[in-house]
Amino acid sequence: MALLSQMGSSYCIRTEIFRHKSGHNVGLSRANNIEAAKLKENCIGFSSVSCYSSRKTQILHVDNAVVGHKRGHSVIVAASPPTEDAVIDTEPLTKEDLVGYLASGCKPKEKWRIGTEHEKFGFELKTLRPMKYEQIAELLNGISERFDWEKVMEGDKIIGLKQGKQSISLEPGGQFELSGAPLETLHQTCAEVNSHLYQVKAVTEEMGIGFLGIGFQPKWRIQDIPIMPKGRYEIMRNYMPKVGTLGLDMMFRTCTVQVNLDFSSEADMIRKFRAGLALQPIATALFANSPFTEGKPNGFLSMRSQIWTDTDNNRTGMLPFVFDDSFGFEQYVDYALDVPMYFVYRKKKYIDCTGMTFRDFLAGKLSCIPGELPSLNDWENHLTTIFPEVRLKRYLEMRGADGGPWRRLCALPAFWVGILYDEVALQNVLDITADWTPEERQMLRNKVPITGLKTPFRDGLLKHVAQDVVKLAKDGLERRGFKESGFLNEVAEVVRTGVTPAERLLELYNGKWGQQIDPVFEELLY
């Protein structure tokens, strides 16, 4: 472990020896105020390092773990699921520590990766009914035994799998989610998706189970959806009806695909955050794929997106403050500190802290665990309970797209990588959207779930802006040099015609399907 010494108000690195995986010793020489990028070049084997000025805590990331150092006592913060027992805190966290945690995600461009997550609905092929937990447990155990995944347990219940930097988890209604590894190219991303679907199908074909690629459960009511045995979801299930009318629909009947992308600095994060928020309604339109509720058209092209407008406005939305001149890591921390908490995790149990804030927690004023102070693990967990259209953690998450068939699972990261990982495309998007007002951005957010690419915008339609943006994404991918632009083919026809996937489903429903919903399970079967 690297030891850190404090000089003045910021940390520096003493000459210490790192034991690298290869067994060789790697030395770091004395330096004060070392820049994150410089340290990364010398620190072989570290995925992300930031020397963010901080009064008490220096955070280093070793693979997926977080290692902090506080006056001779190590702090180890593991990835999800929470493992608060590994945390040893000797001094209270400060807001500065929380800012430093976000800043520790900065990494040079050659270290940028692509992390893709997607959810899908499992159903019985004979009855079309949602998978029960017992069937999901059989599937998870089958994948684990056949393909060598490590089981993730909550009590005596299997709730997920891990293999390297990939994980499989369950959403509240049994939606089956792959959280992919951080990968260099879209070819690797698509190969990962294909491998996952192959493994899932190898087990489910023997069980009579299929998976549906759509953004909202098209047939079944909430009361028909099984409840997963995860403590955090019980707390959310009880809290959601208090803060919105559609939160339970979000939990039990939606599926999404999202991509997680890196930034090099606070300034780079700000530019990408702003571009991502401005364009999120375009992504929602391009991937709109949830026009049915309980067997009938619901009046929306993206019911999934609409649901987020009345889930919990304290933790969702377009975050207008991101466009303020003062925006940066600290402003996001201030926002997150005041988002009401769901829970804390102690002694392998979730404790209901709904309605209280992390700011209260920092001050030791949580009535659910009076006098107790948070760890970085608590902060990491809290950040996962905030759901804006773009979410900041140690990377940025693009959250606006409906789940869909496998080709679209590759197209969504292609769209965002082409824009956000290419400097020319990113600057062009920032130029295009620079004079969009907060009211216009909110108008697009509100109307796109209903009218998609046909949403009027200024003197034309959103389709015309989307055409320009998809062209920028394609050019950006071509400049990357990995021959990735073909992954945008799935949205090329959508943007050319202005007809979203949801509108194509509605054409089938009103035509070939004879206004019956069951054929959608075959149409969008993985």
Domains and CATH numbers, the chain: 112-339+386-524 (3.30.590.20)
CB neighbourhood size of 226 (10 A): 17
Work out the angle between the directed axes of helices 186-204 and 133-147 (0-180°, nearest 10). Answer: 120
Q: What is the pLDDT of residues 471-517, one digit of tens each?
A: 999 999 999 999 999 999 999 999 999 999 999 999 999 999 999 99
Tell me which residues of the chain have a pLDDT lower than 70: 1-90
Query: How many helices and strands (H and E) does the chain possess?
Result: 18, 26
Report d(CA 19, CA 474) in Å as an integer: 42
State residue 90's pLDDT score: 63
Size of the chain in residues: 526
State residue 278's pLDDT score: 98
Report d(CA 308, CA 247) in Å as an integer: 8
The one-letter amino acid code at 407 reads R
Q: What is the pLDDT of residues 28-59, one digit of tens each?
A: 333 333 333 333 333 333 333 333 444 444 44
The tokens 């990331």 sit on which residue? 61
- For 90, counting Cβ atoms within 10 Å of its Cβ (0-12 exposed, 13-18 middle, 19+ buried), the class is exposed
* DSSP strand pairing (387-388 vs 316-317): parallel
Phi, psi of 439 (to 5 degrees): -65, -40
The tokens 């192959």 sit on which residue? 198
CB neighbourhood size of 92 (10 A): 12
Q: Over 408-474, what HEC string results?
A: HHHHHHHHHHHHHCCHHHHHHHHHHHCCCCHHHHHHHHHHHHHHHHHCEECCEEHHHHHHHHHHHHH
- For CA atoms 143, 145, 147, 148, the dihedral sign is positive
Report d(CA 521, CA 526) in Å as an integer: 9
State residue 29's pLDDT score: 32
Report d(CA 243, CA 275) in Å as an integer: 29
